[in-house]
Amino acid sequence: MRRGWPAVLVLTLTLVVAGCATVPPKKTLAERKAERAQAAAVAATKPSPPPRIKTVGTPEDARKHMLRGMAAIEMAKSPEELALAEEEFLAAADISPQLGSAWFNLGKVQTQLGRYDDAIASYRQYLAVAPGAEDAQKVRDEIVKLEFRQEQIAREKGRAGSWVASTGAWYVLAMEGNGIVLKTDQRRVTEEEAHSTYTLVGSIPISQRAHAEHHLTVRGGRLSGTWSRGPVTAEKCQIPPDTAEVAGEINEREKKITLRYEVTTFSASTQLAILGDDYCSGVTVTGKRGVEEVLYGPLGPAGLGPGVSYKGLYSWWAGGFSVVGQGWQGHLGVRLDQETEAYEAGLRDDDEILAIDGVPVKSLNAGEAMMRLYGQPGAPVRLDILRKDVKDPVTLTILRIPSV
């Protein structure tokens, strides 16, 4: 924030805007615990699918099912039609379990259907009934290839979930075909990207956070695709949408994504009117600027639990007449009420987290801090807390609670 823009005024405006939002009624701690217990009970009693009824018949029937399966493959024009071939080969294997060709063809069809677990099981059954087959080594090699595919699919699926940028923006990563999509409604538009001014006041930071998306193709560890940002309001002006090509990489070991792209830079000016309403005197393009965005994730499924929110991810105000620091400032606070499990564990509203499992928050960026805070349900996290009106830091150990 530029000098001359009082922190108190910024805080006042923020509180006025926030007060206009409609807040849904909060659930009590007992209600949330009851919901989780009910969900766990439902999951534990979820009925298993009925076992498949095996086909019975004669060896001649098994031969007919084999021929029908081959015909289904020849006619298949869709996965649904190819599944008919699987049914026929399953029927042949039911009738004659020692019929190696049934298991072999079953494995081939299941591979085409993308059911690698089933395909591996079928190929292994083929090797069990025909260990001396001429193609036995080829089948063993195919099993190795399918296991590799399984690993890659599991790794790709494991990327889905919540990611947090070093700047504090929360993203949702979803798989889309052979690529990934990252979306956020919390991207901060910095003063370097859009310079907003107001008559007599000077520079004013843009408080509204923007919607942004990355549509990316993954090739090994390399990423490429497009980035887009929606419009954002700067006082009486509107900064138009922007888009650019993106390149980057995904680091599985460090659990981070790095993206590089160019944003269009803007200048917006709001004029103070003596008579009538203030107005936007113009928005101009001033150039291009390179951006490197680093995201960390996916976050673990559990953190400090429902009813806990974080402050400091986008700005930090130390109180009093201090200025508001825009962006991540190395401070992480919490907001919560008494109807939370975190409160039961000893956390209090307006506590500042100084360290997570012994690692100082000031040594981390926002994404790294969230990655350390989140983990598996029930796993402990140790927090060093700075509390108002308490001289020395307080140390708490909290068992992580599912966020939803």
pLDDT digits (tens, 9 = 90+) for 302-319: 999 988 999 999 889 888
Whether 186 and 172 have beta carbons less than 8 Å apart is answered as no
Task: Check whether residue 122 and residue 182 sit in a common domain.
Answer: no
Nearest to 51 by CA among 97, 105, 94: 94
Q: What are phi and psi for residue 226, nearest 5 degrees?
A: -130, 155
Three-class HEC string of 107-137: HHHHHHCCCHHHHHHHHHHHHHHCCCCCCHH
Give the span between the Cα atoms of 271 and 195, in whole angstroms: 14
Task: Check whether residue 190 and residue 233 sit in a common domain.
Answer: yes
Which residue range(s) make up the domain with 124? Answer: 59-156
| 199 occurs within a structural domain | yes
Structure confidence by residue, pLDDT tens digits, 104-122: 999 999 999 999 999 999 9
| 50 occurs within a structural domain | no
Q: What three-state secondary structure class fits 99? A: coil
Task: Check whether residue 289 and residue 182 sit in a common domain.
Answer: yes
Task: Check whether residue 350 and residue 270 sit in a common domain.
Answer: no
Looking at 105, 128, 156, the residue that finishes a domain is 156
Name the domain count of the chain: 3
Listed in sequence order, the residues at least 6 apart from 329 whose beta carbon sits closer than 8 Å to its beta carbon are: 312, 315, 316
Looking at 234, 266, 296, the residue that finishes a domain is 296
Task: Check whether residue 174 and residue 262 sit in a common domain.
Answer: yes
Structure confidence by residue, pLDDT tens digits, 51-102: 778 888 999 999 999 999 999 999 999 988 899 999 999 999 999 999 999 9
Task: Check whether residue 138 and residue 201 sit in a common domain.
Answer: no
Residue 49 — very low, low, confident or very high, per pLDDT cuts 50/70/90? low
Entry pTM: 0.79
| 322 occurs within a structural domain | yes
Q: Which amino acid is at 105?
A: N
Q: What three-state secondary structure class fits 30? A: helix
Of 174 and 274, the structure prediction assigns the larger pLDDT to 174
Lowest mean pLDDT among 32-41, 49-58, 169-178: 32-41
Task: Check whether residue 379 and residue 291 sit in a common domain.
Answer: no
Give the span between the Cα atoms of 305 and 347, in whole angstroms: 11
Residue 320 — very low, low, confident or very high, per pLDDT cuts 50/70/90? confident
Q: What value does the mean pLDDT take over residues 165-180?
A: 92
Listed in sequence order, the residues at least 6 apart from 362 whose beta carbon sits closer than 8 Å to its beta carbon are: 330, 331, 354
Task: Check whether residue 202 and residue 320 sit in a common domain.
Answer: no
User: Which CATH number is 182's domain given?
Assistant: 2.40.128.30
User: Which CATH number is 104's domain given?
Assistant: 1.25.40.10
Looking at 244, 276, 296, the residue that finishes a domain is 296
User: Which CATH number is 320's domain given?
Assistant: 2.30.42.10
Task: Check whether residue 386 and residue 330 sit in a common domain.
Answer: yes
